[in-house]
Structure 1
Amino acid sequence: MMSSDIEAARQLDRHIRSPRQIWLTGAGISYGAGLPLMYPLTDRVFHLLEKNVEDAEAFELVKAVRADLPAELHIEHVLSHFGDLVALAERAKDASAFVDGKRVPKTKLQAAHHTILRHIRDILRWGYIPASKTSAEQEGKPGKPIVRIEHHRRFIRALYKINRAGLDERREAIQFITTNYDTLLEDALALELVPYIDGFSGGAIAGWDEHSFNLLASGSAIKAAITKLHGSIDWYRSGQENGRVFRVRHDDAYPDRSDNNGNVVIYPQSTKYMASREDPFGFLFQRFRGLLSAERQQVLFVCGYSFGDDHIDAIIEHQLLHVDSKTTLVALSKSRTPKLKAWGESSAGERVFVLAEDGLYRGRAGPFFPPTASIVRDWWSFKGTSSLLENGLPADIAEAIE
């Protein structure tokens, strides 16, 4: 009988070459590109709000809202809270909502919300690296961005152009699901000449069109589909185009982008557009559910995501634990988080793999192939993931399963 570690490694090797792949990515894959993780991003936004004189009114509102939330929450929770306040104001007789015991008009709530979005957009467009024990703070600026794309390009090349002999003929388009606002995945696909769709119809300027995903029909030349669950820094809702969402170039004067006429579309909000065809978020989350609910063999790879979003985790858990599910989860995570441990010990355990710093887990078993003084397991990192795709399993594991 084959030992558990050898069997787990052989199954993992097959999954890496699966013809049907879904990749869920989070902020961790963009950290090496010069973009901050969620908490440093939060600190940076608050710093800019406090520093800029023109943001004084917005800063006071944001400070009051933040004081009303648990200390460990980050900028997305603040955005969500502002969305709720705007929704309350829209239903109120005087078009206002309570903040810190005072009635605040909807227009001021929206202005503060838009200001947060603008800062997030600019930070992620130009890049920002907070100071550390070994390096000084780095701030990208217009004309002098510090964002790099080589890590993403390497990842895309590894997925599409390396060690894939005979696979393209039977592989479907790869599904990329991301919580990131940046455009690095899309840009890397474009630079590597991989045809993709993202839910918009058009060119450099494009309008939201959920039907564009139908281009993935059998025989299509499309090789990738991107589902951005939390929106993007180049998405914009136009107040002058009946609330339609566009993907835009940052330096164009159209559509009108003044705060009174629209805003960057980042993170799902409780607005009049939610649950309507003018808002992409409802469709995108439903699409994510649909991809995971397919009753056929497929692999969900997770990289750079910490399993800290209850909404996304619930979708994964519901579909993974479904009695008819044939989805295998391969989580590239520095540690085996409580969520991953629980899933590994569930009825879906045999379909749950975790590639962690301390070794390989399958279900409730592991860690197999732990690191040694001469062997480091970095397969959980974005760089290590690309190496895994390029070269296959680490040499010591490959030798063990031969």
Structure 2
Amino acid sequence: MPFAAIRGATALTDEIELEAHLASLLRLENIGLLLGAGASVAAGGLTMIALWSQFVRECADDAEWMVEHGFIDAQAIAHPKPTTPNIEHLIDALEIALSDWTRQMKKFAEEVDYADGEEALGQNLDDLKTAKAALFRTVVRAALLREEWWLSPSGVETDDAALASQRTILQKLVSARQPGQASPWIFTTNYDLAIEWAAESIDLQVSNGFLGVHTRRFSPQSFDLGFRNTQARGEARFGVYNIYLAKLHGSLTWKQEGGQVFEVAAPLAHQRIRQFMAERDGSDLGLMVMPRAAKYMDTIGYVLGELFRRFAEFMSKPQSCLILCGYGFGDEHINRLIRSALLNPTLQLVIYSSGFSGDPADANLPSALRKLLSLKNPRITVVGGGAGHAYIDSLARHLPDPLIYDDDMRKFEKALRDDHEAQEPLLDDLI
């Protein structure tokens, strides 16, 4: 698919024009990324389409049970290419049935005349729990990325190409910050540790809302703190030394205990994950917000509510730019915040969408993205053109390389050079 990009109602002619636009946006006061599942594919993650295909392939009995009991259509498990259902609505339907069937079981337990019905319903209830747990395990498995990264005491090595794009993006973003500007924000709906591992491999500090050395407790005031080099002078003042990371749907390394939320080391979290994967009737893990429509209610708690508040606050600040990559617009609670944030007249949006072919009215695009395109707002830029132009490696390539001098320093340098060249003939005459 050829390169396709549009800013408002005007098509961008080539990648050079896009790169120039991104270079100007990185000079704004506030810069942030919103990463979805697509941003982790190169590191071993799965999109929703790939996740469902894996579930149908590896949990065929559970998928067929869902068809038999009307939770999904037969086309959803058709081979070789199943039709991906709305997984949020599917999990909602499973949970509603679980609640209803559990209530009926309690009623049967009180009325001895329904012994036969109780046995049949009990078997269906067990099958339902098994199918739901299998779907949740598939979601968790998709967020594990690579097993060796969890077990390695050093995390991910800098020469590991799987996270090369993440490292490049982080380095370019922090290097582009000017003196006095805030560190970049990374917002993500992913449970995986791709950003943390990429940042650690280049010794970049990650402020994720947790404070502590051996016991890391959620302390949102940490988002108001930053890092600086006390010895930096002149040019060395450029750039920042940390990023802010907000995992909007939780993380595989979070746990809730005693009314508080803690972050645990990856090897310890991996032990908990292995236990979860071995339990066929498990349903949740830590503070992950499973992909269901009801997750909007899950986001109003203390931790996730604070992270969403920070997300909304970022988009309301003057002179801000939010770049979306790998996000499929499947989370309506996030879509609402983005649409509302456009009331900020200085907010710039850049959206990398692999499905965008240049046609704003394309029916195959997510409806939320079509709504944004229909605004023809010059503050909204959409980049498409498939794998060659719209994935995270493309974003890493399009972002400008860091500059040592700002515009004023460049003008001063040019003036000195011109003056030196003017003096050279005089020096030659004296010699």
Do the structures match in fold with TM over 0.5?
A: yes
1:252 aligns with 2:268: yes
The answer to whether the Cα contact below 8 Å between 2:255 and 2:263 also exists between their aligned partners in 1 is yes
1:73 aligns with 2:113: no
Q: Secondary structure at the match of 1:116?
A: helix
Question: Could you tell me how far apart the structure 2 residues matched to 1:80 and 1:39 are?
Answer: 18
Candidates 305, 315, 320, aligned match of 1:282: 305
Question: Could you tell me how far apart the structure 2 residues matched to 1:249 and 1:62 are?
Answer: 40
> How far does residue 50 in structure 1 lie from its aligned partner after superposition?
3.7
> How far does residue 169 in structure 1 lie from its aligned partner after superposition?
1.4
| Letter in structure 1 aligned against 2:310 | R
The answer to whether the Cα contact below 8 Å between 2:174 and 2:242 also exists between their aligned partners in 1 is no
| Letter in structure 1 aligned against 2:85 | L
Candidates 332, 336, 339, aligned match of 1:310: 332
Trace 1:158-173 onto structure 2 (pairs within 5 A). Answer: 158-161=172-175, 164=176, 167-173=177-183
C-alpha change, 1:345 and 1:125, in structure 2 (3 Å) is closer
| Letter in structure 2 aligned against 1:291 | F
Q: Secondary structure at the match of 2:211?
A: strand
Question: Could you tell me how far apart the structure 2 residues matched to 1:328 and 1:304 are?
Answer: 18
C-alpha change, 1:188 and 1:140, in structure 2 (3 Å) is closer
Trace 1:334-353 onto structure 2 (pairs within 5 A). Answer: 334=354, 335=356, 336=358, 338=361, 339-340=368-369, 342-346=371-375, 349-353=377-381
Trace 1:318-397 onto structure 2 (pairs within 5 A). Answer: 318-320=340-342, 322=343, 324-334=344-354, 335=356, 336=358, 338=361, 339-340=368-369, 342-346=371-375, 349-357=377-385, 378-391=388-401
> How far does residue 86 in structure 1 lie from its aligned partner after superposition?
5.6
The answer to whether the Cα contact below 8 Å between 2:36 and 2:190 also exists between their aligned partners in 1 is yes
The answer to whether the Cα contact below 8 Å between 1:95 and 1:106 also exists between their aligned partners in 2 is no
Candidates 243, 251, 268, aligned match of 1:224: 243
Question: Could you tell me how far apart the structure 1 residues matched to 2:26 and 2:37 are?
Answer: 22
The answer to whether the Cα contact below 8 Å between 1:230 and 1:266 also exists between their aligned partners in 2 is yes
Query: Which digits, 9 at most, give the CA deviation of each residue in 1:316-340, with x for residues without a partner?
Result: 11221x2x43211112233155544
C-alpha change, 1:63 and 1:38, in structure 2 (3 Å) is farther
Structure 2 unaligned runs (5+)?
1-9, 77-82, 109-119, 231-239, 362-367, 403-431
Q: Secondary structure at the match of 1:383?
A: helix
Question: Could you tell me how far apart the structure 2 residues matched to 1:66 and 1:18 are?
Answer: 48
Q: TM-score, normalised by structure 1?
A: 0.65
Q: Secondary structure at the match of 1:349?
A: coil
Question: Could you tell me how far apart the structure 1 residues matched to 2:218 and 2:381 are?
Answer: 36
What count of residue pairs does the alignment treat as equivalent? 337
The answer to whether the Cα contact below 8 Å between 2:133 and 2:283 also exists between their aligned partners in 1 is no
C-alpha change, 1:249 and 1:196, in structure 2 (3 Å) is closer
Question: Could you tell me how far apart the structure 2 residues matched to 1:385 and 1:183 are?
Answer: 19
1:267 aligns with 2:289: yes
Q: Secondary structure at the match of 1:380?
A: coil
> How far does residue 125 in structure 1 lie from its aligned partner after superposition?
1.6
Q: Secondary structure at the match of 1:263?
A: coil
C-alpha change, 1:227 and 1:112, in structure 2 (3 Å) is farther
1:124 aligns with 2:147: no
Q: Specify the structure having the higher radius of gyration (Cα).
A: 2
Query: Which digits, 9 at most, give the CA deviation of each residue in 1:269-316, with x for residues without a partner?
Result: 659x947646x333333332222223x111111112233333322221
| Letter in structure 2 aligned against 1:305 | Y
Query: Which digits, 9 at most, give the CA deviation of each residue in 1:203-248, with x for residues without a partner?
Result: 57634444443435999986311122222233344xxx34654433
1:200 aligns with 2:205: no
Query: Which digits, 9 at most, give the CA deviation of each residue in 1:89-116, with x for residues without a partner?
Result: 78889399xxxx9478988866654443
> How far does residue 190 in structure 1 lie from its aligned partner after superposition?
1.7
1:153 aligns with 2:153: no
Higher helix share: 2
Question: Could you tell me how far apart the structure 1 residues matched to 2:95 and 2:216 are?
Answer: 25
Who is 1:399 aligned against?
none
Question: Could you tell me how far apart the structure 1 residues matched to 2:104 and 2:241 are?
Answer: 47
What is the root-mean-square deviation of aligned Cα atoms in Å? 4.6
The answer to whether the Cα contact below 8 Å between 1:89 and 1:95 also exists between their aligned partners in 2 is no
Higher strand share: 1
| Letter in structure 1 aligned against 2:320 | Q
The answer to whether the Cα contact below 8 Å between 2:191 and 2:249 also exists between their aligned partners in 1 is yes
Candidates 227, 230, 235, aligned match of 2:254: 235
> How far does residue 176 in structure 1 lie from its aligned partner after superposition?
1.0
Query: Which digits, 9 at most, give the CA deviation of each residue in 1:324-383, with x for residues without a partner?
Result: 43211112233155544543443x71211223339xxxxxxxxxxxxxxxxxx9443211
> How far does residue 40 in structure 1 lie from its aligned partner after superposition?
0.8
Question: Could you tell me how far apart the structure 2 residues matched to 1:185 and 1:118 are?
Answer: 22
Q: Percent of pairs identical after alignment? A: 22
The answer to whether the Cα contact below 8 Å between 1:197 and 1:212 also exists between their aligned partners in 2 is yes
1:185 aligns with 2:195: yes
Worse-superposed segment, 248-257 or 75-84 = 248-257
Structure 1 unaligned runs (5+)?
128-138, 359-376, 393-402
Which protein has greater RCO, CA pairs closer than 8 Å, 6+ apart? 2
Question: Could you tell me how far apart the structure 2 residues matched to 1:304 and 1:281 are?
Answer: 21
